[in-house]
Amino acid sequence: METIILFDTRYGTTNKVSNIIAEKLTTYGCNCKVANINENQNLELDKYDRIIIGGPIYAGNFQKNMKKFLEKNLSILKEKEISLFICFMNEEKQIEQFNNAFPNELAVNCKTKGFLGGEFLFDKMGFFDKSIVRIITKSNKNQTNIKNESIEEFVMDILK
Ligand SMILES: Cc1cc2nc3c(=O)[nH]c(=O)nc-3n(C[C@H](O)[C@H](O)[C@H](O)COP(=O)(O)O)c2cc1C
């Protein structure tokens, strides 16, 4: 099955997670491409049977570019086998944030939902983001909470 993982990212974590998913799918014999929605204007979604979409949560939702991308491509995406994931750090709100992020029409028909964790990477953050995260977490240390088990389960569900 021709597969593409489409992602958005600010500091690279969702790119990293997308690559882990792609590596695992490739190990299982799947032909899998990874693409940043901001760097690829002609994605030719028609070519793919299986589409995996993921993005990071900021202030409870996806960033504008991913929202626009999903809105613009909703009708073609609805014709595909779709799996969806978020990268995030607030576990208490993961379901609410997932539901805010993806259009309901996609979420109700998707094959698999992934809650794949995230990171706070202070070294990469700009001044504004650093200040916000420092206030929220009361720390300025990098934190990694990428959920490898959830990634494995997500991939297995996709292949079912
Ligand atoms: C300014 C800022 C706001 C954030 N807001 C949220 C949030 O509302 N909920 C949440 O679960 N995670 C939040 N996060 C955590 C990000 O989702 C997490 O850092 C993610 O791994 C970022 O992925 P990226 O590097 O692909 O952009 C926030 C992070 C930053 C820096």
CATH topology for 2-159 is Rossmann fold (3.40.50)
Closest atom of ligand 1 to 11 CA is 25
Nearest atom in ligand 1 to 55's CA = 26
The residues lining ligand 1, judged by C-beta closer than 6 Å to any ligand atom, are: 9-14, 56-60, 87-90, 97, 118-120, 125, 129, 132-133
pLDDT tens, the chain, 160 aa long: 899 999 999 999 999 999 999 999 999 999 999 999 999 878 999 999 999 999 999 999 999 999 999 999 999 999 999 999 999 999 999 999 999 999 999 999 999 999 999 999 999 999 999 999 999 999 999 999 999 999 999 999 999 9
Residue 82's CB is within 10 A of a number of other CB atoms, namely 18
Q: Which amino acid is at 21?
A: I
Q: Which residue has the tokens 């070294």?
A: 123
Domain positions in the chain are: 2-159
User: Which residues, 6 or more positions from 141, have their beta carbon under 8 angstroms from its beta carbon?
Assistant: 122
Which of 61, 89, 132 for mutating ligand 1's site (highest number of atoms within 8 Å of CB)? Answer: 89
